[in-house]
Structure 1
Amino acid sequence: MEAVADSNRAIELDPSMSKAYFRKGSACMKLEEYQTAKAAFEAGAALAPGDSRFAKFIEECDKCIADEMKDTQKSAPNASQGTVLPSVGSRSSDSAAVTVKDTKQTQDTSQHALDKPKYRHEHYQKPDEVVVTIFAKGAQSKNVSVEFGEQILSVSISEDAYHFQPRLFGKIIPEKCRYVALSTKIEIRLAKAEGIHWNSLEFTKDNLVPQKINVSSASERPTYPSSKSRAVDWDKLEAEVKKEEKTEKLDGDAGLNKLFRDIYQDADDDTRRAMRKSFVESNGTVLSTNWKEVGAKKVEGSPPDGMEMKKWEY
């Protein structure tokens, strides 16, 4: 259980970490939570397509899920078994014991009614969906009811008088949501209506849904969380770095290359075409910015003083 919890925390901190999904899937397989494990492996495979381990474990999960479904179909209760009644002679001798037993059963029944079962549940998310798992071992699928609203999930298990109906953190698409009831758990997939990260499963006043940020001016540029006490404006920092690169003075070939690069970057389309054509056709010996001059003819090579142009035959 600790491994699953650690993996969920790692995924919340960095949803793009494929290793966290692999660790979660491995931990869930050890707990025989194969549907949850498969979903984790699928999420990891989408992030790391070249990792063959995910495909192998997804195939293993499919086999285990198929076996689990077979066991569920075979586990239907046999209600046709009769009750063996004691003989007349034994009834009188055991009457006191029966009275005590009946009283105890009545008390146990009353206590059971008061202590309704509370099943553990957990969730994890992917960019387009949230997967909720309710660990209701032994619950019959015919007694399980799951309904989806715009921002409501309702789960009921009639045989145990269990009801779970949270208001969700974000909105969902009910027609795209689905669930499956297995012998050990109920797995529910909620299709997100918006591509936002859910900070929790349930909505609270202190946990508002994040809104998209519209940056209209330099003074409203977003800042990002940091372990430092001072907030860092990364957009401003990037602009400063670009300014330093533009004003940086280099010597020799580096300075010449920077000059040509700056000219090309700030030039219009005709100037860029002229620079490309002259440089390629002259084998790097001529660089012209005049398209009218070089556009209508081939640019011949012009080697530096003291050097000679030669053509190589292959």
Structure 2
Amino acid sequence: MAALRHEFYETDEFVTLSIFDRGADPAKVNVDFAPRKLSYTHGDKSLLLEPLQGQIDPSRSQFTVGKVKVEVRLAKTNAVRWGGLVGDSPDPLANSAAPSSSSTTTRSVKPTKNWEGITSEILTNDKEKTTEEDPNVGGDSTLNGFFQKIFGDADDDTKRAMMKSYQESGGTTLSTNWDEVKKAPVEVKPPAGSEWKKWN
């Protein structure tokens, strides 16, 4: 089976995992959630994460299928930062009264329409960039995760300001202040020593 590229970012309550599976058919995507395990399959492509660094609540975990990636949202049972996806550390919630593995339940979830992802889709190109085209792809997921978190947690005006400033400035400016950005087109501000050229 083909392995899939993936990256994640986390809050105290959730781990958001992006699985890069371009053109995934929602009817054929299968995601199984278990307390310390995530299993993703789509045709001959698969991803197995086990044991997860912490415990998740399968009943509150979900996923959405987009054009370029499948976004999986893992609901943590304990509000702590994991620092990684998988690990051998013992489950902090496990104790002598924990249920045996035979009684552990797994749950498959049907995909839902990714309405929030539609606005963020505007900021991405139709094709994934390679590391030669953009050194941040795949390499520095911390920075990408930081901007995803800012955009994901923002209100509608902040998202509108980010999209307008980024598009109108040709990617040279990113503002979160809608009151300032809505007044006029955003100027192109290339880095010092650079010259802005518009390509056809």
- The TM-score by the shorter chain falls in which range? 0.3 to 0.5
- Structure with the bigger percentage of strand: 2
- Which is richer in helix? 1
TM-score, scaled relative to structure 2 = 0.43
Q: Which has the higher contact order (CA 8 A, sep 6+)?
A: 2
Q: TM-score of the superposition, structure 1-length normalised?
A: 0.28
Rg (Cα) greater in structure: 1
